[in-house]
């Protein structure tokens, strides 16, 4: 009878670590969901606990909006780093991908792959961080999944988040909009996320700790749209950093990009750490920074809307289509290619 | 200059295994995407290659439909098994979760976590299988992500798929609809997926090979709706099998479920394998089977629509709310509880 009572009034008695049975579809999994995930992400859609979340994505105010979809797996190592953790990253990273399509983020889904033996306290901390990040970004986590893999077949926690957002009517952001003559901007200083993660991983100590720039970008994009800025293309500067993002845009838009090195904002501690580590800050990942390609006529208004930290760093050009060229502080030109190899594995 | 030519006209020269650089955001990642993922999943939305896919989810025919969202991580071991593989599972499993909300599946996203050293040939085979499965289920894979983890920190391939579907106007499927007196059906025979996976994992040989039941359920659900069957609740029988699915429904709907053991379809080879392995087929995962709770008046029509293999196995009752009871072939009653531990880890 105690079994039935437990089933009707579940009071999860969770062990201190994740076990294979937590992924098995039985009582342990229900306890994990009820003890960890539901309390953190509580919202009516999630609490309906069906196989799918059923949501409204077409508010009456935007009946002709289109829906943006994006997904990202997060495998950052270590799970916690100065300025953030894998949970914060998994929320903001996906919110930011939606924002890069000009979309207002509405809903997230979250799928967890846990390694047997993970401390429940670690999972709780990550889930709490996701709850806070979702609140900060104004999105609801409406459905999820948990799988457990045997010890040595995972690495603590991997999280895949998928985002659904609404692209307001008339908004069309993408490489196909980019024109020679457009201004190229960045929303803030570069490279802090990558260096913050690397500093923990490699046990590096800096004079002043470098914190990740991990942050949501959707409110900035909404402010830009509200200010009447014409957004041609947006790209967040994650894996591969600014250089890779601009290479992708240049190739997909078939324009050249010409950057002015002295205009690119990199803080001194990041520059110093990069020199020490043999890294180029233009290739180091950020998690709360974007590059913007806007018509010349919108550039000043965009910078004013983004506020301190944003900078105009170059322009799209007709010359060298598909290629990004950096004009150095000494006046010479240097091609910023896509990285051939790996600079920083498992940075996000 | 050969570098620039390669950038403009990418002809991927892929090595034979996955490397960390394939997840790094640089040239290698672009080559992996262009060499493996884009050719398989080609569709205009995916080929736009932006951070988010922008899609229509509100066709003119169903302006008042609601959107269903679901996500699942797939960690099945081994990656290939009789009747399917992780790719097929990742497509059908998520399509099926949408169908369980009465939704018509429209779009999938796919996030891959690859282990360094994975053979590219294995990845190609899985991706090809996903392409075929998506075509079979009538969904488009519109965006994705790839991460690579270091050797020994993953297990070949993990895939997370997220599905977006449209719930037709007037359709409302879920445990809240279940009433005492409703009929409980299953769409086909039980337990083949779990036994098929286990047979490979444990090196078991059966007289006749047992193939996974892995299949999409959305067309069956659409046919039921078209036939005018009132669907109160649907649940696919994955982790934890029929017993777990019905326990979830019984608890969430606060009804009892009474099953008639002789009516539950289990094929002889599966029954034999379960006896050999000490497993209860009612707890073994399927990947192409569902249980349906429908009003008594709809039961016959539902069975006729589902066709051969479907069976009426019991009913929802007022007695023992939250509890599933099996009336055995000998007339005695046995409570089918949620599993306390793990029966078959990494079955999906």
Summarised one tens digit per residue, pLDDT across range B174-218 is 999 999 999 999 999 999 999 999 999 988 887 778 999 999 999
Q: Are B236 and B96 contacting, i.e. CB atoms less than 8 angstroms apart?
A: yes
Percent of chain A whose predicted confidence (pLDDT) is above 90 = 75
Can you give the pLDDT at residue A79? Answer: 97
Residue A54 has pLDDT above 90, yes or no: no
Among B53, B241, B344, beta carbon nearest to A68: B53
- Please count the other Cβ atoms lying within 10 Å of the Cβ belonging to residue B125: 15
Residue environment code for A283-292, b if the CB has 16+ CB neighbours within 10 A, otherwise e: bbbbbbbbbb
A307: phi then psi, degrees, rounded to nearest 5: 85, -170
For residue B64, the model assigns a pLDDT of 60
B70 touches chain A (CB under 8 A): yes
Which residues in chain B show pLDDT less than 50? 1-11, 59-62
A-B Cβ pairs (cutoff 8 Å, strict): 310
Q: Which of A12-26, A95-109, B93-107 has the lowest mean pLDDT?
A: A12-26
Average pLDDT, chain A: 90
Which pLDDT band holds residue A268 (cuts at 50, 70, 90)? very high
* Among A42-46, A173-177, B182-186, the least confident range: A42-46
Residue numbers of A between 36 and 65 with CB closer than 8 Å to B: 48-58
pLDDT band of A65, cuts 50, 70, 90: low
B:205-234 residues touching chain A, CB 8 A cutoff: none
- CA distance to B83, B101, B229, B248, per residue, from A49 (Å): 30, 11, 23, 10
Which of A271, A252, A298 minimizes the C-alpha distance to A210?
A271
CB A211 within 8 A of CB A196: yes
CB contact under 8 A, B344 and A252: no
Partner B contacted by A251 (CB < 8 A): yes
B143, B158, B244 ranked by CB distance to A113: nearest: B158
- Which range (A108-117, A161-170, B56-65, B107-116) has the least confidence? B56-65
Model pLDDT for residues B39-83, shown as the tens digit of each residue? 888 888 887 777 788 877 654 444 566 889 999 999 999 999 999
Q: What is the pLDDT of residue A45?
A: 80
Given a cut of 60, is residue A60 above it in pLDDT? no
* Cα-only R_g, chain B: 22
Give the pLDDT confidence score for residue B347 in this predicted structure.
92
DSSP A320: S
Judge: A69–B238 Cβ closer than 8 Å, yes or no. Answer: no
Higher pLDDT, A185 or A277: A185
Distances, alpha carbon B150 to alpha carbons A75, A152, B74, B251, in Å: 10, 12, 19, 42
pLDDT of the residue at A10: 42
Which chain B residues have a beta carbon less than 8 Å from that of A248? 30, 49
Beta strand segments in B194-255, E: 233-236
């Amino acid at each position: 009878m105690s079994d039935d009572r437990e089933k009707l009034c579940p009071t999860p008695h969770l062990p201190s670590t994740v076990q294979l049975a937590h992924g098995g579809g039985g009582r342990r999994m229900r306890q994990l969901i009820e003890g960890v995930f539901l309390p953190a992400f509580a919202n009516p859609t999630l609490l309906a606990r069906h196989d799918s979340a059923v949501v409204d994505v077409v508010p009456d105010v935007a009946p002709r909006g289109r829906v943006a979809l994006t997904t990202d797996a997060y495998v950052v190592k270590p799970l916690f780093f100065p300025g953030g953790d894998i949970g914060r990253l998994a929320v903001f990273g996906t919110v930011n991908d939606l924002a890069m399509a000009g979309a207002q983020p509405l809903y997230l889904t979250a799928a967890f792959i846990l390694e047997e033996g993970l401390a429940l306290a670690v999972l709780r901390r990550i889930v709490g961080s996701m709850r806070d990040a979702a609140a900060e970004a104004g999105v609801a986590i409406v459905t999820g999944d948990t799988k457990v893999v045997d010890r040595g077949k995972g690495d603590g926690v991997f999280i895949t988040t998928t985002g659904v957002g609404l692209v307001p009517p008339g908004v069309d952001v993408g490489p196909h909009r980019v024109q020679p003559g457009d201004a190229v901007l960045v929303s803030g200083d570069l490279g802090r996320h990558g260096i913050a993660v690397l500093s923990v991983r490699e046990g590096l100590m800096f004079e002043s700790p470098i914190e990740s720039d991990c942050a949501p970008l959707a409110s900035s994009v909404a402010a830009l749209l509200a200010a009447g800025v014409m957004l041609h293309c947006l790209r967040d500067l994650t894996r591969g950093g600014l250089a890779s993002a601009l290479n992708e845009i240049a190739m997909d838009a078939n324009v050249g990009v010409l950057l002015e090195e002295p205009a690119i904002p990199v803080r001194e501690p990041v520059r110093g750490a990069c020199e020490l580590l043999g890294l180029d800050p233009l290739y180091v990942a950020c998690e709360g920074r974007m590059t913007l390609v806007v018509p010349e006529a919108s550039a000043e208004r965009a910078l004013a809307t983004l506020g301190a930290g944003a900078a105009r760093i170059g322009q799209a050009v007709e010359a060298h289509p598909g290629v990004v060229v950096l004009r150095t502080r000494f006046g010479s030109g240097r091609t910023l290619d896509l990285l051939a190899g790996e600079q920083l594995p498992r940075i996000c």
